[in-house]
Each structure stands twice: as C-alpha cells, then as structure tokens.
Amino acid sequence: MYRQPVHIVRGEGVWLWDASGKRYLDCYNNVPHVGHCHPRVVQAIMACTGSEANDIALRMARAATGATGVIATDNTYHGNTTAVSALSVRRPPIGGHPGHVRFVPAPDSLNPVGGTREGQAQAVAVNVERAIQELKAAW
C-alpha cells in the first residue's frame, strides 16, 4: 500500500509507532473497539494469536458438543491455521471449503440482510437456522 512499507514496532491503545518513532492512529484493525494491549483483554488472553485463539475455540466447542459443523458469517477472516482458514471467504482454503462449514450473510447497516434494518435480525436468524438444518442433514 506504500512505496516504502511502514515498519510498525509497537502499539498501545489506539496508537502505533514505527521503527523511527513516528506515531500513527490505528483505525484499521480491532483497535477502535478496545485498543492495543487493553489490560482487561491481555489478562483474559489464552493464546498468542487470533488464529490460535480461534483454533482453540473450535476445539473447545467440538469437545463440548461432539459436533463438527461450523457456521461463519461471510466477509470475515479468522486466521491462518487449517481449521480456521476454512471459515474465511476472503481467502478460501486450497481445495475449497470443507463440507462441515456453512456461511451466512453478516448483518450490515448499509445493505441490511433481508432488505430492511427492522427485518434484519429475523432475516439473519432465518439464515442461521437454514445453515443449522443443512449441517444436521449433512452429518
């Protein structure tokens, strides 16, 4: 994105610093929600990366339910492991998505699922229920 890519070396709150000490406001990643290194988030962390955290969450869900089906919203990214890359539509896994994954449209304030903001929650629920039934029928 830049002729000379920015080399970020640290982040704190909503700020990032490059190797030369220049400060940048980070409005791109999850920072607008909680900030870099938010103490409550750091205290609760079980993993080093988002990929690892999502992979662990999948294993925990499978251990608790015995089920293998996963429903993910479209237009998401969950990480780089084999298990969680299968949940991403932006970078599909080599060979395509496995049969135990179903995608549903994510709620959208500009283009609401179902056509209206008022009807969006119900439309999302219908899509999730359809995905559940498809997974039950397939497995």
Q: What is the C-alpha to C-alpha distance for residues 96 and 64, in angstroms, rounded to an integer?
A: 27
Ranges 4-18, 41-55, 109-123, most confident: 109-123
Answer yes or no: do 34 and 83 share one domain: no
Answer yes or no: do 70 and 126 share one domain: yes
Note whether residue 54 is domain-resident. Answer: no
Asked if the model's pLDDT at residue 41 lies above 80, the reply is: no
Note whether residue 20 is domain-resident. Answer: yes
pLDDT of amino acid 91: 75
Answer yes or no: do 31 and 76 share one domain: no
Q: Which domain holds residue 27?
A: 8-44
Query: Secondary structure of the chain: what % helix, strand, coil (to 5)?
Result: 35, 15, 45
pLDDT tens digit sequence for 48-86: 788 888 899 999 999 999 999 999 998 888 888 888 889
Answer yes or no: do 98 and 36 share one domain: no
Answer yes or no: do 132 and 70 share one domain: yes
pLDDT tens digit sequence for 98-119: 999 999 999 998 999 999 999 9
* pLDDT, the chain, mean: 87
Answer yes or no: do 93 and 125 share one domain: yes
How many domains are contained in the chain?
Answer: 2
The angle at the Cα of 12, spanning 8 to 14, to the nearest 5 degrees, equals 90
Answer yes or no: do 72 and 118 share one domain: yes
Note whether residue 59 is domain-resident. Answer: no
